[in-house]
């Protein structure tokens, strides 16, 4: 068998991500969509650490990391300089949920308010995974992390996930979308659209983390699909603040998603916590109503 030559990936093999890493797949797909004419700005996080251990890099495009909190500010500066010089590179921020939801909020808010022509992509693995699974503003209700451990006196994380896409849409962002690595073609399309939309655009991509969530590395895609099929994650697009399109599903009960992950095991063992599961089911139901994701058959409509 002969190999097809000259097909080099822009996000190269040899990076140190765990086997079955969701964010690593997200990085590959982002560069597949963005192409060579791109400058990537990263914040501190899993992706920064596994893709660029000194003095090596897995990125085939210019890449810069400054601090945890200022990726959006660095990108703003790069975009302004590129515009001044009349260059055509696209600026993309690739940051984790900790850097986006918590630490970098100030700089992101500034960049979106000034409407720099950047694309901000948050790979959402729902906790600070790089430092050992601490909860963030993106951690869902009742997930057990090292800073919200489940036990006799605790049922895990007490707060639901922050609704960041809507916060950034409220800044007047022309294009805001959520995606999932489990639907690669949809994600690539959304990245392409965000890059080609003038102004500050935001994409939040659900990237399951086998180490932090506690599932078999081969299940990364399946877990991401379950999140969508249960209604706990909704893939939608917002154009000028209005939801334009949401992925419709035949919804499954949330237990299927929760049972598959170690971080939710305390909801089933030693005894099932029906009340807590009902709370999570109510969140999925609320999502279904808000985004109208339920597929209804003809008989059900009547």
Partner 1 sequence: MPLTIGCAARPGKARRNLTGSWRVFRPVFRPEECTKCGLCATVCPEGCVIETEEGTFIPDYDYCKGCGLCAEECPAKAIEMVQEEK
- The answer to whether 107 and 72 are in contact (CB under 8 A) is yes
**In the complex, what is the shortest distance from the CB of residue 154 to partner 1, in angstroms, rounded to a whole number?**
32
Piece of 8-16, 90-98, 113-121, 160-168 that binds partner 1 (CB under 8 A): 8-16
39 closest CA partner among 16, 70, 67, 71? 71
4 forms part of the interface with partner 1 (CB under 8 A): yes
Q: How far apart are CA 98 and CA 95, in angstroms?
A: 8
Nearer to partner 1, 16 or 273 (CB): 16
Nearer to partner 1, 43 or 51 (CB): 51
Residue 131 carries which DSSP code? Answer: T
Query: What are 39's two structure tokens?
Result: 């400058």
**Counting Cβ atoms within 10 Å, is residue 192 exposed (0-12), middle (13-18) or buried (19+)?**
middle
216 forms part of the interface with partner 1 (CB under 8 A): yes
Nearer to partner 1, 23 or 98 (CB): 23
Q: Count other Cβ atoms within 10 Å, centred on residue 260.
A: 19
Nearer to partner 1, 27 or 169 (CB): 27
- The answer to whether 178 and 204 are in contact (CB under 8 A) is yes
Binding residue count for partner 1, defined by CB under 8 A: 37
**In the complex, what is the shortest distance from the CB of residue 26 to partner 1, in angstroms, rounded to a whole number?**
9
220 forms part of the interface with partner 1 (CB under 8 A): yes
Residue 75 carries which DSSP code? Answer: H
Piece of 15-23, 41-49, 104-112, 229-237 that binds partner 1 (CB under 8 A): 15-23
17 forms part of the interface with partner 1 (CB under 8 A): yes
Query: What are 13's two structure tokens?
Result: 């093999």
Query: Site residues (CB under 8 A) for partner 1?
Result: 1-4, 7, 9, 11-22, 24-25, 28, 51-52, 54-58, 184, 210, 216-222
């Amino acid at each position: 068998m002969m190999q097809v030559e000259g097909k080099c990936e822009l996000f190269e093999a040899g990076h140190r991500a765990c086997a079955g890493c969701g964010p690593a797949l997200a990085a590959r797909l982002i560069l597949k969509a963005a192409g060579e004419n791109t400058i990537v700005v990263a914040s501190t996080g899993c992706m920064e650490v596994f893709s660029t251990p000194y003095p090596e890099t897995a990125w085939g495009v210019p890449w810069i990391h400054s601090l945890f909190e200022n990726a959006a500010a660095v990108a703003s500066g790069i975009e302004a300089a590129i515009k001044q010089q009349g260059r055509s590179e696209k600026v993309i921020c690739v940051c984790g949920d900790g850097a986006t939801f918590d630490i970098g909020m100030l700089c992101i808010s500034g960049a979106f308010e000034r409407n720099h022509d950047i694309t901000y992509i948050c790979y959402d693995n729902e906790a600070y995974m790089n430092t050992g699974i601490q909860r963030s503003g993106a951690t869902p209700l009742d997930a057990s992390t090292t800073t919200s451990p489940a036990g006799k006196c605790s049922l895990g994380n007490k707060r639901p996930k922050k609704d960041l896409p809507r916060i950034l849409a409220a800044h007047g962002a022309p294009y805001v979308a959520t995606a999932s690595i489990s639907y690669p073609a949809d994600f690539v399309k959304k990245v392409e659209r965000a890059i080609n939309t003038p102004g500050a655009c935001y994409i939040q991509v659900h990237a399951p983390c086998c180490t932090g969530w506690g599932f078999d590395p081969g299940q990364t895609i399946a877990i991401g699909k379950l999140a969508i099929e249960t209604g706990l994650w909704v893939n939608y697009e917002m154009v000028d603040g209005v939801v334009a399109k949401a992925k419709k599903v035949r919804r499954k009960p949330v237990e299927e998603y929760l049972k598959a992950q170690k971080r939710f095991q305390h909801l089933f063992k030693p005894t099932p916590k029906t009340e807590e599961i009902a709370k999570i089911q109510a969140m999925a139901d609320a999502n279904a109503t808000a985004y109208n994701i339920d597929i209804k058959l003809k008989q059900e409509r009547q």
